[in-house]
């Protein structure tokens, strides 16, 4: 590979791909066996392809950033299951998926990074007021003030899920998972997030009441109801090394363009996955 990349912001829409046995077989044989086994265990195709596309994006980023061929490296998982590339700590990446989309943020400068993609709309069965009551301990009092500031339920939803995406990205960057109570992290807005494709980067974060100056949050709307947040964590004097990048759409063919099998092909397993695809397609 002649050209190496230093940074990436990628988005894959699973509805853009009509699966074929050949492409699915190549993709599933190009991830590690433990990951392939997890993917095969999903009941629904949409969940399997969300997981598979995440693994493919991670492997593509490491390959594109290092110049290594797909069969020349493995990915590891931290104690709390965050994937990482053990041979070079400067290579950092994170993925998230929601609905039809899988997104990746990747950097090669050593910064901690987390990403979350979130629909800014409540789709649960309970009334919104009851949902907020159940989630009352997850946000700080100031965050709830921001949620309740508008009289419109639609705006309350957008504010809540904007905060939620920030918290998810923060937690994923730190790698601490559910061990960190969400209400110990307090996000304070300085700008509205209401222009599709235009980044907001001035949201502040406080941890246990103390402002954290070594974080930057890059928030952007992919469409009117879908937001992405990228969390960057590094020394304050290095934050400007990581300016916001526009998200680049990648196809399934882009993801597998340079991949190489690292485990044997499983034609029977791929056929079962395609059966799930056809079954789920009929159900929808």
Domain with CATH 3.90.470.20 in the chain: 1-110+242-284, 112-241
Confidence of residue 283 (pLDDT cuts 50, 70, 90): confident
- Which residues are CB-neighbours of 80 under 8 A, at least 6 positions away? 175, 176, 177, 179
Comparing 70-84, 134-148, 168-182, 225-239, which segment has the lowest mean pLDDT? 168-182
Average pLDDT for residues 208-222, to the nearest whole number?
Answer: 96
Sort strands 215-223 and 185-188 into parallel, antiparallel or unpaired. Answer: unpaired
Distance of CA 219 to the CA centre of its chain: 13
What's the topology of domain 1-110+242-284? Ribosomal Protein L22; Chain A (3.90.470)
Report how far residue 99's alpha carbon sits from residue 102's, in angstroms, rounded to the nearest whole number. Answer: 8
**In the numeric block, which tokens belong to residue 94?**
């994170």
Bridge partners (DSSP) listed for residue 272: none
Bridge partners (DSSP) listed for residue 185: 207
With a pLDDT cut of 90, the percent of the chain lying above it is: 89
> Residue 226, Cβ neighbours under 10 Å: how many?
21
Tens digits of residue pLDDT in 7-39: 999 999 999 999 999 999 999 999 999 999 999
Confidence of residue 178 (pLDDT cuts 50, 70, 90): low
Tens digits of residue pLDDT in 126-169: 999 999 999 999 999 999 999 999 999 999 999 999 999 999 99
Average pLDDT for residues 255-263, to the nearest whole number?
Answer: 95
- CA-based R_g, the chain, Å: 19
How open is the CA angle 216-107-188, to the nearest 5 degrees? 15
What is the average pLDDT value for the chain, to the nearest integer? Answer: 94
Confidence of residue 2 (pLDDT cuts 50, 70, 90): low
Q: What is the pLDDT of residue 177?
A: 63
**Long-range residue pairs from 129-134, CB within 8 A, at least 24 positions apart, any chain:** 132/156, 132/160
Q: Where are the alpha helices (DSSP H) in 29-152?
A: 33-40, 45-66, 128-134, 141-148
C-alpha distances (whole Å) from 136 to each of 109, 153, 225 are: 37, 16, 23
CATH superfamily of 112-241: 4'-phosphopantetheinyl transferase domain (3.90.470.20)
**In the numeric block, which tokens belong to residue 256?**
């597998």
pTM: predicted TM-score of the whole model, two decimal places: 0.95
Tens digits of residue pLDDT in 82-136: 899 999 999 999 999 999 999 999 999 999 999 999 999 999 889 999 999 999 9
Query: Directed axis angle between helix 153-174 and helix 141-148, to 10°?
Result: 150
Report how far residue 120's alpha carbon sits from residue 111's, in angstroms, rounded to the nearest whole number. Answer: 27
Q: Does pLDDT of 175 surpass 90?
A: no
Q: Does pLDDT of 50 surpass 80?
A: yes
Average pLDDT for residues 195-222, to the nearest whole number?
Answer: 96
**Helix or strand run (H / E) with residue 205:** strand 204-207
């Amino acid at each position: 590979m002649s050209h190496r990349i230093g940074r990436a912001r990628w988005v894959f829409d699973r509805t853009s791909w009509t699966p074929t046995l050949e492409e699915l077989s190549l993709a599933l044989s190009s991830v590690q066996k433990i990951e392939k086994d997890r993917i095969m265990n999903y009941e629904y195709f949409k969940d399997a392809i969300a997981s598979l596309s995440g693994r493919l994006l991670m492997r593509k980023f490491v390959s594109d950033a290092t110049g290594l061929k797909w069969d020349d490296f493995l990915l590891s998982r931290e104690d709390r299951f965050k994937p990482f590339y053990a041979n070079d700590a400067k290579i950092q990446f994170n993925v998230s998926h929601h609905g039809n989309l899988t997104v990746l943020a990747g950097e090669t400068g050593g910064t901690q990074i987390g990403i979350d993609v979130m629909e800014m709309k409540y789709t649960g069965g309970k009334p919104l007021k009851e949902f907020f009551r159940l989630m009352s301990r997850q946000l700080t009092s100031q965050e709830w003030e921001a949620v309740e500031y508008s009289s419109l339920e639609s705006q309350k939803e957008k504010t809540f899920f904007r905060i939620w995406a920030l918290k998810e990205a923060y937690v994923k960057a730190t790698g601490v998972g559910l061990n960190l109570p969400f209400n110990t992290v307090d996000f304070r807005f300085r700008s509205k997030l209401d222009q599709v494709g235009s980044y907001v980067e001035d949201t502040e974060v406080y941890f246990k009441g103390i402002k954290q100056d070594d974080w930057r949050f890059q928030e952007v709307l992919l469409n009117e109801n879908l937001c992405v947040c990228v969390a960057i964590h590094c020394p304050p004097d290095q934050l400007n090394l990581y300016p916001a990048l526009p998200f680049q759409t990648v196809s399934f063919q882009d993801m597998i363009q340079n991949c190489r099998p690292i485990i044997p092909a499983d034609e029977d397993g791929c056929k079962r996955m395609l059966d799930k695809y056809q079954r789920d397609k009929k159900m929808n």
